[in-house]
Structure 1
Amino acid sequence: MKYINEKVFYTKGLMDGLDLDKGSNEGKILVQVLDILEDIVDALDGLTEAQEELEAYVEMVDDDLTDLEEFILDEDGLLEDDDEEFEFDDEDFYEVVCPECGNVYITEFDAFEKNAVICPECGEPFRLEEEISCCGEDGCDCHQEV
């Protein structure tokens, strides 16, 4: 953009150096055209500056996003390494469906008192009936109680 600015000022200096009559119709038009060109150059300079600021901001956001991605991926890596420390016994947790409201929640079997359960959603008590598959195999879809 700098070269456009230089050309406009060169043309303005050329017009002054040629000693054109600024009072004539042609002179008035040339003066107006050069003033308009100066305004355009100023606007382009402002746009260039704004674009450079936006580029710097986008680069900063990109760097922050990269840092965040690395942090999250690093956290995931740490969690994968720590899995051995936290062994969960799936048999201690059960999915329970309230027969009144249909709320599904997961709870520990030890939390039940004599198979009596109180739904945390509606507060209705109900008895727990453990569902066992007919064949005793994982993945059995018959859902028949034995």
Structure 2
Amino acid sequence: MGFIKERVAYLKGLAEGMKINTETNEGKLLSSIIDVLDDMALAIDDIEEVQEQLGEQIDDLDEDLAEVEKIVFDCEDDDEDDDILAEVECPHCGEIIELEEDMLDEDAESFECPHCGKDVVVEWDCDCDDCCDHDEDDDE
């Protein structure tokens, strides 16, 4: 928007070329309007400069954020193993089953093997007294 400064400079030159008398009320008004336009043009130039600097900083932050996202989301893939409760060998097909919480139903005594599709019986061997509901079911 450097053209605004050029246009204001043109108006200044035009006013001087017309030899507007700044002693009259109209001359004072036109001179003041041109001064205000000049100040506005300078302010706009300053704003454009700051905006350009901020744009560069945003681009830098965007690049840094992309690196952080890459690190966070690459590491997050490793955390998927946290959902695995245990690894169990299927008695039917011999494949290793990564047992997850959503595979187990509290009331069911078995779950389906994802490899062969047969039911695998769950035997609850728990030595704890207060962390599981299975001992309470046995007492009833």
Give the distance between the partners of 1:37 and 1:28, measured in 2 at CA.
14
1:58 alignment partner in structure 2: 58
**Does structure 2 conserve the Cα–Cα contact (< 8 Å) formed by 1:8 and 1:38?**
yes
TM superposition shift of 1:15: 0.7
Give the distance between the partners of 1:132 and 1:28, measured in 2 at CA.
92
Give the distance between the partners of 1:133 and 1:16, measured in 2 at CA.
98
2:134 alignment partner in structure 1: 133
- Check 1:144–1:7 CA distance in 2 against 1; reply closer, same or farther (3 A cut): same
- Check 1:132–1:32 CA distance in 2 against 1; reply closer, same or farther (3 A cut): closer
Alignment of 1:101-116 (within 5 A): none
1:104 alignment partner in structure 2: none
Alignment of 1:2-41 (within 5 A): 2-41=2-41
Give the distance between the partners of 1:75 and 1:39, measured in 2 at CA.
53
TM superposition shift of 1:145: 3.1
The one-letter amino acid of 1:144's match is D
Q: Percent identity?
A: 30
TM superposition shift of 1:42: 1.3
Report how many aligned residue pairs link the two structures: 97
Give the distance between the partners of 2:2 and 2:74, measured in 1 at CA.
46
Structure 2 unpaired stretches of 5+: 88-126
Alignment of 1:83-98 (within 5 A): none
Alignment of 1:68-83 (within 5 A): 68-77=68-77, 79=78
Give the distance between the partners of 2:133 and 2:76, measured in 1 at CA.
36
Superposition RMSD in Å: 2.9
2:138 alignment partner in structure 1: 145
Q: What TM-score, normalized to structure 2?
A: 0.57
TM superposition shift of 1:73: 2.6
The one-letter amino acid of 1:35's match is D
Give the distance between the partners of 2:34 and 2:45, measured in 1 at CA.
16
Give the distance between the partners of 1:144 and 1:63, measured in 2 at CA.
56
State the SS of the aligned residue for 1:19.
Answer: coil
Give the distance between the partners of 1:132 and 1:10, measured in 2 at CA.
88
